[in-house]
């Protein structure tokens, strides 16, 4: 019997190995409360962020500090991704032109001669 593969990015058990440090320190009930807050798709993002901050303050200890560090690292990571994607996009036109030139060269030097060897009519150009 085949079982469906589980995916945990939205729900289900979470390994502590993959949890941010601020979640590793709290009891499982607090974790459930946290995930209930962040999975609320009906509330505006700003409200969810306020509720997460209030949740972290309620936990005490270094949870709020660890949450802020996690958020800062996440923002830096996405800023780096955005920078890299923007760079790639800015280079697409140049890359396309180079590929087109390479394609023409390959066609003229390798493909066209083989086509004519097999009797296919090939335009010169």
* pTM recorded for the entire structure: 0.62
Q: Is residue 121 part of a domain?
A: no
Asked whether 55 and 37 are in contact (CB, 8 A), the reply is yes
| pLDDT score recorded for residue 13 | 52
Q: What total of structural domains would you count in the chain?
A: 1
User: For the ranges 39-53, 55-69, 100-114, which has the lowest average pLDDT?
Assistant: 100-114
pLDDT class for 60, splitting at 50, 70, 90? Answer: very high
Task: Please compute the mean of the pLDDT values over residues 103-125 and round it to a whole number.
Answer: 81
- Half-sphere exposure for 39 (CA within 13 Å, toward CB): 11
Q: Is residue 117 part of a domain?
A: no
Q: Is residue 39 part of a domain?
A: yes
Domain range enclosing 45: 18-95
| pLDDT score recorded for residue 12 | 52
Q: Is the pLDDT of residue 29 over 80?
A: yes
């Amino acid at each position: 019997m085949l079982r469906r593969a589980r995916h945990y990015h939205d729900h289900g058990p979470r390994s502590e190995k993959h949890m941010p440090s601020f979640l590793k320190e709290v009891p499982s009930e607090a974790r459930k409360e946290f995930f209930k807050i962040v999975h609320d798709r009906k509330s505006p993002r700003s409200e969810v962020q306020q509720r997460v901050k209030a949740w972290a303050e309620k936990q005490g200890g270094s949870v709020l500090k660890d949450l802020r560090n996690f958020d800062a690292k996440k923002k830096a990571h996405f800023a780096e991704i955005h920078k890299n994607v923007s760079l790639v996009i800015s280079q697409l036109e140049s890359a396309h032109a180079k590929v087109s030139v390479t394609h023409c060269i390959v066609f003229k030097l390798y493909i066209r001669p083989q086509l004519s060897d097999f009797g296919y009519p090939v335009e010169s150009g």
